[in-house]
Structure 1
Amino acid sequence: MLRGLTTISFFADDVRAASDWYAEVLGIQPYFLREADGVPAYIEFRIGDYQHELGIVDRRFAGPAPEAPGGAVAYWAVDDVHAAFDRLLALGAKVHQEPIERGPGFVTASVVDPFGNVLGVMFNQHYLNVLGA
């Protein structure tokens, strides 16, 4: 049985550059680093209310990795989708999907980070209700 997300892995050709970009986006440094051949091969950030993990994997060491975004988008909870979306664009991401209201209390948007990964952001009232319970 699935118990919840543990780590979402993104891929990058330059893990150091991805680490720097995500450190700026998240306002924190990665807590874990694994090197190979003297360069960062994998890093992890712990994020948010439940300390979910975002890993960045060097494509050279990842084994088979998608060349293009797949059929899934992971959405990270934010308080203001429009502000988060605009900030990501200002930091160099490209539009994947403009903010859309999906229903009362649910707004989503997504960008493609400078490394080719789709990063989703969502305001989700249900998330806040569960967090507050």
Structure 2
Amino acid sequence: MNTSSTQGIKTVLHPVSDLERAKAVYTALLGAPPQTDGPYYVGFEVAGQHIGLVPGGGPQGLTGSLAYWHVPDVEATVAEMTAAGATVKEAAHDVGGGRLVATVIDPDGNLLGLLQDR
């Protein structure tokens, strides 16, 4: 029984090597300045989506963009996905503000992010 449903991909993180240059490029693309602007993370909120820039791949060690599927229950979704053949890369944990995230790897090696706002 599927206890989780997705609200779609609303959050995408991009690893960047030069945060200031990337911030300028994404500001030009999105037509708005970042809402979160720090040395370890820059975040934009545009058209119902969150676009994040993480220098050096951030604590996740990202080497490519990571899309986060918004779900009502991260732990239930992780359980269902692992039962179906996915592997947990990063277990569900709180990243602040009541937001839970987890990452799983599908059978083909694709990294999928899961996000729950409480």
More contact order relative to length (CA 8 Å, sep ≥ 6): 2
Q: TM class by shorter-chain length?
A: 0.3 to 0.5
When normalised by structure 2's length, the TM-score is 0.46
When normalised by structure 1's length, the TM-score is 0.41
